[in-house]
Amino acid sequence: MNELLFRSTDQRFGFRISSDAVDHMASLCRKAKRSETGGILAGRYSERHDCAIVTEVTGPPPDSRGGPTWFKRGVRGLQQLIERLWRLDRSFYLGEWHYHPYGSPGPSTTDTKQMSLISTSDSYSCPEPILLILGGDPNAELEIRVFVFQRGASYLELPRLIE
């Protein structure tokens, strides 16, 4: 299984995701056509706690809604899923992913506000949530960008490392 690796230029933050997980997200993007879609990222951290490792990518919960330039991720069933992942292999919530159809994978103002709120929310217990954005044509090559939102600080992009 191939993996994509992203790391901040200061080496403090890393992110690893399998190509199978990316393929799954791309298929959800194709299914959504010209509407935004998304879900959550779950997994764990490396032993040194400097790299988030994705073990599970969800699609949009059934109460999610989206249009060509917006996405509101629903919550139905997510708490039960997160509890099940914790019991099975100690995986937990790492962050969010979503798709900008035929657009740039850069975070919008809405994206940055939402992720900043998550970073300070006690209910998420995630002071450094990850945001993965896919952009472009889902029937061709999608561009992927990854960001980490630090509690009380600005966000950082994690450039992809080519191995």
Instruction: Check if the beta carbon of residue 156 is closer than 8 Å to that of residue 148.
Output: yes
The dihedrals phi and psi of 10, each to the nearest 5 degrees, come to -85, 5
Q: Where are the alpha helices (DSSP H) in 41-137?
A: 78-89, 109-120
Beta bridge partners of 67: 70
76 residue type, one letter? R
Regarding beta strands 92-101 and 65-67, do their DSSP bridges make them parallel or antiparallel, or are they unpaired? unpaired
CA-CA distance, 107 to 96, in Å (whole number)? 12
- Measured distance CA(136)–CA(75) in Å, rounded: 26
Active site residue 36: yes
Catalytic residue among 3, 36, 143, 163: 36
Task: Please classify residue 48 by burial: count the beta carbons closer than 10 Å to its beta carbon, then call 0-12 exposed, 13-18 middle and 19+ buried.
Answer: exposed
What residues are annotated to the active site? 36
